[in-house]
A and B are shown apart, each in its own frame.
Chain A
Amino acid sequence: MSRPTSTWVREAAAVFAKEWRCELRTRYALNTLALFAINTLVVVSFSLGPLGVAPGASSEALPVLLWLILLFAAAAGLPRSFVHEEETQTATALRLAATPSALFCGKVAYALTLLVALEALVAPLFLVVMNLDVARPGLLIATLAAGGFGLAVCSTLVAAIIAQARGKGTLFAVLSFPVLLPLLLLAVELTRGAFAGGTPGVALVQLLLYDGAVTTAGLMLFPVVWNP
């Protein structure tokens, strides 16, 4: 059943606002993401630090660590958005009241804002503790934005798939990491370019195309995943 665009936007905004209202009252995802990110950042900084990596190797190795921190922090906190709906049995009411695509977009917007907050916390700290210079800050911001968007869309879709299954944690890893592999490879390559001052080449375009592809796939697959 098609719905007017204004209604659809209002629905997506309602889901987004509800997610944040619930989150600000429990702080589950915020605490999980922040604690995981800071813990791993501290471990990485103590283990490697500015002196632990050879100056020439730092721009090669450290982007990988940055994206691994973001990936695992996201994996620790983001799947909850749908898993919690199933575990607390609120999913039935949501199935009966929300347009699936609006629900998906509301959840993606929530995951994206969480990831932006995480990136805003982790990326500057990472640069400071690793004593890294960013030759092209604009490229780094674009990479974090595009990479964060892809991560949010994939995490939301996979969370919806695993929410109704048993062994949710394992399934999230099994299903999401193959899908996220292209995103991670492109994001790491672009982050290296941002640190070293290289040109983005086609990698940024590929990352944006990846985002477009996963968003389209998400919008097409979600109604099937969500409803019987």
Chain B
Amino acid sequence: MLPALRFAQVRRRFGRLAVLGGVSAAVTAGEVLLVTGRNGSGKSTLLRCLAGLLAPDSGTIEYSEDGSPLDAAGRRRRIGLVAPDLAFYGELTAAENLAFFSRLRGIGRERGDELLRRLELPPDRPAAALSSGMRQRLRWAWALLHRPRLLLLDEPFQNLDAAGVAITRGLLAEHLASSDHGAAPGLAVVANPVPLEIGSVAANLDLGA
């Protein structure tokens, strides 16, 4: 059964500030849901709710893989996230960071090595010494490490040079088409302040100007 994400009337407040005022959308395998809106419109908050990192005040989030619905804890373990506030251990090299998370996820080091090569990351450079563009590439490597079916991408091309954008767009296209994670192709929710030209956009959820 194809993975699918559906959320309805998701609301989230921070104190008296209403950030999400009841948003709804759905996306299925092979598709991208594009979330746009000005800075502060709630794009990152929505992605954190979808990732299971933030509990919405109300509303429903339904996500299933292989026909099994996943709750927030299940989503946390399964999704791949690229986000500006995602950081890695500065004392460890890029390869050591990926090796650590590979051990946590119970997968071999080869996948991390492969992603380091594909994203043209220097494996032996400490994460603290990576440029902002290289850190963004490392976020992509981290997000794809466990071959997730659902990718949540918050400003995914931020700080990337032209080559970095081309590589990550290629990885996203593979993810959506892919047989990489079994029979079902992946799906993605992409949040960006302005619309992006990416393939297979099923819907554009505009959180407001």
Contacts and interface: CB of A to CB of B under 8 A. Distances in A.
B86 A93 contact: yes
A10 B142 contact: no
Interface in B88-108: 88-92, 96, 100-101, 103-106
B74 A1 contact: yes
Interface residues of B, number: 29
Q: Is the interface of A mostly helix, strand, loop or mixed?
A: helix
Contact of B92 (A7, A22, A92): A22
A95 B53 contact: yes
Nearest to A100: B73
A155 to B, nearest CB: 21
B92 A18 contact: yes
B54 interface: yes
Interface in B182-202: none
A92 B87 CA distance: 8
Interface string A1-29: 10000010011011101100110011000
A10 B87 CA distance: 23
A89 B142 CA distance: 14
B76 interface: yes
Interface string A129-167: 000000000000000000000000000000000000000
B53 A96 contact: yes
Nearest first, the 7 closest Cβ-Cβ pairs linking A and B are A14-B103, A89-B87, A25-B91, A22-B91, A97-B104, A228-B55, A18-B100
